[in-house]
Amino acid sequence: MVNHLKIGLLGVLVIFCIIAGNEGKDQTYDEEEHDPDPEISINDAKYQASLRLVSLEKTKGYGHGHLCSGSIITQRVILTAAHCVVNASKTPPSDHNADEFVVVVGSGNLYDKADTLQYNVKKIVKHNSFDSKTYYNDIALLYLNDSIPWTWPTAKAISLNSKLVPEQTMCNATSWLREEDCKPTKLLSITVPIISHETCAYRHENVSESVICGGHELPPGEEEESCQGDAGGSLVCNGKLAGVVFRGDGMGRPNNPGIFTNVSYFYDWIVKTNGTFDYKNSAKGLSVSSAQILILLFSVLGYNLF
Q: Kindly write down the DSSP assignment for every residue of 184-235, as one continuous string.
A: EEEEEEEEEEEE-HHHHHHHSS---TTEEEE---PPP-SPPPP-EE-TT-EE
pTM as predicted: 0.78
pLDDT of residue 38: 77
pLDDT of residue 180: 52
Residues facing 259 on adjacent strands:
213
- The answer to whether the CB of 54 falls within 8 A of the CB of 99 is yes
Name the residue among 249, 281, 181 with its Cα closest to residue 6: 249
Q: Digits of tens for pLDDT over the chain (306 positions)?
A: 444 444 444 444 333 343 333 333 333 334 344 444 578 999 999 999 999 999 999 999 999 999 999 999 999 999 999 999 999 888 888 999 999 999 999 999 999 999 999 999 999 999 999 988 888 999 999 999 999 998 999 999 999 999 999 999 999 989 887 655 556 667 988 888 999 988 888 777 768 889 998 886 655 544 433 345 678 999 999 999 999 987 543 323 446 678 899 999 999 999 999 999 988 644 343 333 344 444 544 444 455 544
Rounded alpha-carbon distances, angstroms, from residue 89 to 14, 86, 92, 214: 25, 9, 8, 30
pLDDT of residue 116: 97
How many Å apart are CA 301 and CA 218, to the nearest integer? 36
Buried b (16+ CB within 10 A) or exposed e, 284-304: bebeeeebbebbbeebeeeeb
Query: What domains lie within the chain, and their CATH numbers?
Result: 46-157+268-275 (2.40.10.10), 169-265 (2.40.10.10)
Name the residue among 176, 138, 161, 210 with its Cα closest to residue 51: 176
Identify whether 92 is preceded by a cis peptide bond (ω within 30 of 0).
yes
pLDDT of residue 219: 52
Q: Where are the alpha helices (DSSP H) in the chain?
A: 2-8, 11-21, 54-60, 197-203, 267-274, 288-301
